[in-house]
Amino acid sequence: MSADDVRGTGVRWTGRAYLLIGVGAFLAVAAVASRSAVPLFVALPLLLVPFAVASLTTGRSMRADLTWAAGGMGADVDLTGELRGSLGTGARDLVLELFPPPGAVPTAPLRISRGSETIRFTVGWRLLEPTISTVRPPRVVWQDPLGLVEQDVGGKRPGLELERYPAEIHRLGAVRLDRTITLPGETRSRRVGASGEFYGIREAAPNEPWGRINWRASARVGRLLANDYQLELTGDLLIVLDVRPCSSDRAVDARLLGIARAGVHGIADALFHSKVRVGYATFGEFVEAVPLSTGRGHRARVLAAIAASRLSPVAGPAERCAVSVRRYYRPGITTMVVSSWTGDVAEELVPYLRRQGFPPLLISPSSLPMLEGTGDLAPDEEPLARRLELVERRVRLSETWRYAPVIDWNDYWSLEGLARFLRRPTRRRVS
Amino acid sequence: MSASRVDARRGGSGLTFALAVLAVSAFGLVVGLPDLLGPAIGVAGLVLSSLWRRRPTTGRSFAPLPALVALSVLAVSAPVVASAELFGGFATLALLLWLADDPARPAGGGRRAARAIGACGLAIGIAWSLVLLLPSSSRGVGVAGALLALVLLVLAYLLVRETEGRIPSAASA
């Protein structure tokens, strides 16, 4: 039996069956007490029907295997699935119990089309924030039409991996990273693409962006030609995820970490596609590190480590992080620190990492959008409070700017600031 | 987070509701409460249950409660006459039929529940026939017959469940 296998259960009564039996028993007692047969005639069907339904159902064996997928873009998740198996006439009375991931709100109701062998379903959710999570497989229950007995249907039902992060991250693969260390014997890879130094001219594709068309060359030969650019992949990147509890509210911390984890997952995935060497470290009380490397095996290792990152119960000192990171990685690697730390400024990771020789870049997911409207302020006071909190946050982040560029991640579904910064690494400008 | 348990919605059949209203009203009329109070109590219970069932909450499993309370009130206050017994039984069967016709479930629930409701109807029919046909001194035989049917069904259920426990099902094999 594999981990995806769900075992079916026997028939059990629902609360409604107990309600009917309870009312029936009360009426039977009332009939005896009042010496009247009328309550007994009313009680008789109520007492009989749960047993009748259970007798007709017991012994039935159903099995339904699930295949499902998540479509949609960004925050929208369109879930489609199919249950296939030995359902028979019971297919009409199957009830699906779906378990949306945390922070998902329904946008489209569950729609089910039933056949004799298959049941297809669709449902729409909107995610409040980026996430990487495993959606639990739906519980499939057969329930009789009267709602008196039910039975869990067994079958093979895998969980669904849901990976949603800002769209800009998908385009990070073409960035040029600074401060790469070339190891002895290493050959730098080169790639022809849309950015970098001019490489050559080729036939334009039908959907070629106008900006890449070489108009002079096209005019000379009488057909559309496009420029190719050569990008020297310099990629080395160390991602440090701060998993320390950063506020008094653990639920907010967990949500912020979920957003950070999704962002880090997307960034690492995009850079792996460009053959960038990526290292990953988390810092809670201590540092846990995955060494710098590239390739499919390493990608799987890093992504699994990112998915397994959890909020640490204790916050370790920032110096410890910097010193420990130095043990695992050589100084000079571009270091992307993802931290929503809002505690003591002296405990910011960035200055310490810089002192140890790691040029950092800070991505700071903000808790302000989460806290919006949660206080007991009047509606007209809310915007003012938001502005004050924003000013306070900007002042705090401006102190970090002395040591490293900072991306203030306020809109969870956009990392345009990071994408823009990485595309123009020499200007160091973030708007 | 609480799980969402939503199925394909459809408009529930008004036919079973009308049938239940009719049966409960008839039962209310033979109960003999003053000023049409009997039908009013029955219909009010049904309407409350119907409204409860429309709410997509986890407590909708207990939606029949108001209708059952109304039926119980009518049954307790009914005089001991054969028509009251018959209409009481019919009203309960009609209520069960209406329960099977849940708007949150696929259409045709009444048809699929027909065997279970039919078994109850048969028991009511046997009991009422015995009550009607036997002399008044033996009325208890009718009630005893119905109770016997109940006990037999319980025994059948327990027997089938016991057998199922010994034979491993296909899913667990």
Binning pLDDT at 50, 70 and 90, where does residue A3 land? low
Mean pLDDT to the nearest integer, B79-89:
87
Burial class of residue B8 in the structure, from the number of CB atoms within 10 Å of its CB (0-12 exposed, 13-18 middle, 19+ buried): middle
Min CA distance, A77 vs chain B (Å)? 16
Across A132-150, b (16+ Cβ under 10 Å) vs e yields: bbebebbbbbbbbbbbbbb
Q: Between helices B14-31 and B37-54, what is the axis angle to 10°?
A: 150
Q: Tell me whether A19 touches chain B (CB under 8 Å).
A: yes
**CB pairs below 8 Å between A and B: how many?**
201
Q: CB–CB of B71 and A42 under 8 A?
A: yes
Domain count, chain A: 4
Please indicate, yes or no, whether residues A215 and A364 belong to a single structural domain of this protein: no
Tokens representing A324 are 């420990």
Give me the residues of A, 92-151, that contact B with CB < 8 A: 92-93, 95-100, 102, 106, 109-112, 114, 139, 144-147
Residue A111 within a domain: yes
Task: Report the Cα A252 to chain-centroid distance in Å.
Answer: 16
Q: Would the ipTM clear 0.90, i.e. be above it?
A: no
- pLDDT averaged over chain B? 79
Residue A430 within a domain: no
Binning pLDDT at 50, 70 and 90, where does residue A36 land? confident
Comparing CB atoms, the residue among A26, A110, A145 nearest residue B105 is A145
Residue B126 above 50 pLDDT? yes
Q: Which residue has the tokens 């594999």?
A: A2
Q: Between helices B65-77 and B82-100, what is the axis angle to 10°?
A: 180
Residue A287 within a domain: yes
- Percentage of residues in chain A with pLDDT exceeding 70? 89
Q: What is the structure's pLDDT at B27? A: 93
- The helix/strand/coil state of A140 is strand
Min CA distance, B45 vs chain A (Å)? 14
Binning pLDDT at 50, 70 and 90, where does residue A126 land? very high
Please indicate, yes or no, whether residues A146 and A203 belong to a single structural domain of this protein: no
Residue A183 within a domain: no
Comparing CB atoms, the residue among A45, A47, A56 nearest residue B115 is A56
Q: What is the structure's pLDDT at A362? A: 92
Residues A188-239 pLDDT 10s? 555 667 766 788 899 998 888 888 899 999 999 999 999 988 765 556 889 9
Q: Which residue has the tokens 């060359």?
A: A217
The residues, ordered by sequence, that sit 6+ positions from A212 with a Cβ below 8 Å of its Cβ are: A194, A204, A226, A227
Residue A110 above 80 pLDDT? yes
Residues A360-409 pLDDT 10s? 889 999 888 887 767 677 777 888 888 888 898 888 888 888 888 898 99
Please indicate, yes or no, whether residues A204 and A345 belong to a single structural domain of this protein: no
Mean pLDDT to the nearest integer, A283-300:
90
How far is B127 from B95, CA to CA, in rounded Å? 19
Give the closest residue to A261 by CA, choosing from A159, A128, A165, A160: A165
Mean pLDDT to the nearest integer, A113-126:
88
Kindly write down the DSSP assignment for every residue of A251-273, as one continuous string. Answer: HHHHHHHHHHHHHHHHHHHHHHH
A287-293 and A277-283 beta bridge pairing: antiparallel
Residue A223 within a domain: yes
- Percentage of residues in chain A with pLDDT exceeding 90? 29
Residue A314 within a domain: yes
Q: CB–CB of A16 and B62 under 8 A?
A: yes
Please indicate, yes or no, whether residues A96 and A212 belong to a single structural domain of this protein: no
The residues, ordered by sequence, that sit 6+ positions from A298 with a Cβ below 8 Å of its Cβ are: A272, A278, A290
Residue B172 above 50 pLDDT? no
Length of chain A: 431
- Report DSSP state, residue B33: -
CA-atom Rg of chain B in angstroms: 19
Angle at A290 between CA A289 and CA A296, to 5 degrees: 165
| Cross-strand partners of A240 | A281, A337
Q: CB–CB of B116 and A37 under 8 A?
A: no
How far is A200 from A225, CA to CA, in rounded Å? 10
Final residue belonging to a domain, choices A203, A232, A261:
A232
Please indicate, yes or no, whether residues A25 and A133 belong to a single structural domain of this protein: no
Mean pLDDT to the nearest integer, B94-119:
89
| CB contact at 8 A, A68 and A161 | no
How far is B78 from B38, CA to CA, in rounded Å? 10
Please indicate, yes or no, whether residues A291 and A404 belong to a single structural domain of this protein: yes
Please indicate, yes or no, whether residues A354 and A273 belong to a single structural domain of this protein: yes
- pLDDT averaged over chain A? 84
C-alpha distances in angstroms, A236 versus A165, A278, A358, A371, B79? 22, 6, 12, 36, 90
Please indicate, yes or no, whether residues A220 and A139 belong to a single structural domain of this protein: no
The residues, ordered by sequence, that sit 6+ positions from B48 with a Cβ below 8 Å of its Cβ are: B66, B67
CATH number of the domain to which A109 belongs: 2.60.40
Q: CB–CB of A144 and B116 under 8 A?
A: yes
Tokens representing A57 are 């159902």
Residues A416-427 pLDDT 10s? 888 877 766 554
Please indicate, yes or no, whether residues A329 and A408 belong to a single structural domain of this protein: yes
Please indicate, yes or no, whether residues A225 and A125 belong to a single structural domain of this protein: no
Residues B41-62 pLDDT 10s? 999 999 999 999 888 776 888 9
Domain of residue A23 covers 11-57
- In chain B, residues with a C-beta closer than 8 Å to the C-beta of A112 are 7-8
Tokens representing A342 are 């809002």
Burial class of residue A352 in the structure, from the number of CB atoms within 10 Å of its CB (0-12 exposed, 13-18 middle, 19+ buried): buried
The CB density around residue A11, as the number of other CB atoms within 10 Å, is 23
- In chain A, residues with a C-beta closer than 8 Å to the C-beta of B157 are 51, 54-55, 58
Please indicate, yes or no, whether residues A224 and A243 belong to a single structural domain of this protein: no
Q: Between helices A15-34 and A38-57, what is the axis angle to 10°?
A: 150
C-alpha distances in angstroms, B101 versus A55, A110, A230, B97, B172? 21, 20, 68, 7, 33
- Percentage of residues in chain B with pLDDT exceeding 90? 33
Min CA distance, B170 vs chain A (Å)? 7
Please indicate, yes or no, whether residues A129 and A269 belong to a single structural domain of this protein: no
Mean pLDDT to the nearest integer, B14-19:
90
Residue A174 within a domain: no
Maximum average pLDDT range among A82-86, A98-102, A123-127, B142-146: A123-127
Residue A59 above 70 pLDDT? no
How far is A187 from A182, CA to CA, in rounded Å? 8
Q: What is the structure's pLDDT at B170? A: 41
Strand order in the sheet with A225-232: A190-193, A225-232, A197-203
